[in-house]
């Protein structure tokens, strides 16, 4: 009997093949001064993904868009269990970008920022967005 979990994929990552097809990386791309994504040409719906074939809300065509790297916390938590290569504790938040979509960010510190706290995306860690509290 095979050992449980051995040889089974535990997490889909870009580039790995599932059923012979490559897996696209759906995480937002951070350029240093913007988060790249798409915006609908009809309803203006913002999406943190590039290369969408159509608007996920109204199915109209989309155009590439650059979104702000600042926003407000919609929700946050501190994860207390290991996940992949990450060791606890580490913080996660959903961030509503100022002119754009809601994105998942890792927090530089394992704290729970209050709802509405201003965060700035400062970089990436293993492809995931990393944000810190915005200082004014």
CB of 42 to Zn ion, least distance (A): 5
Q: Which of 30, 65, 21, 60 is nearest to 43 (CA)?
A: 60
Q: Which is nearer to Zn ion, 49 or 70 (CB)?
A: 49
Q: Which is nearer to Zn ion, 52 or 78 (CB)?
A: 52
CB of 28 to Zn ion, least distance (A): 18
Q: Indicate whether 60 belongs to the interface with Zn ion (CB under 5 A).
A: yes
Q: Indicate whether 119 belongs to the interface with Zn ion (CB under 5 A).
A: no
Task: Label residue 31 exposed, middle or buried (CB < 10 Å: 0-12, 13-18, 19+).
Answer: exposed
Q: Indicate whether 45 belongs to the interface with Zn ion (CB under 5 A).
A: yes
Neighbours of 8 (CB within 10 A): 7
Q: What does the alpha-carbon distance between residue 88 and residue 79 come to, in Å, rounded to a whole number?
A: 6
Binding positions for Zn ion, rule: CB under 5 A: 40, 42-43, 45, 55, 57-58, 60
């Amino acid at each position: 009997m095979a050992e449980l979990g051995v040889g089974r994929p535990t997490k889909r990552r870009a580039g790995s093949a599932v059923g012979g097809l490559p897996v696209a990386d759906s995480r937002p791309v951070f350029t240093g001064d913007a988060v790249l994504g798409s915006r609908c040409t009809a309803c203006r719906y913002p999406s943190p993904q590039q290369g969408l074939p159509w608007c996920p809300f109204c199915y109209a065509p989309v155009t590439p868009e650059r979104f702000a790297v600042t926003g407000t916390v919609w929700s946050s938590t501190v994860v207390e269990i290991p996940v992949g290569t990450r060791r606890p504790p580490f913080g996660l938040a959903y961030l509503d970008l100022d002119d754009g979509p809601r994105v998942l960010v890792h927090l530089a510190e394992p704290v729970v920022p209050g709802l509405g706290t201003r965060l700035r995306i400062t970089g990436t860690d293993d492809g995931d967005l990393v944000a810190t509290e915005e200082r004014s």
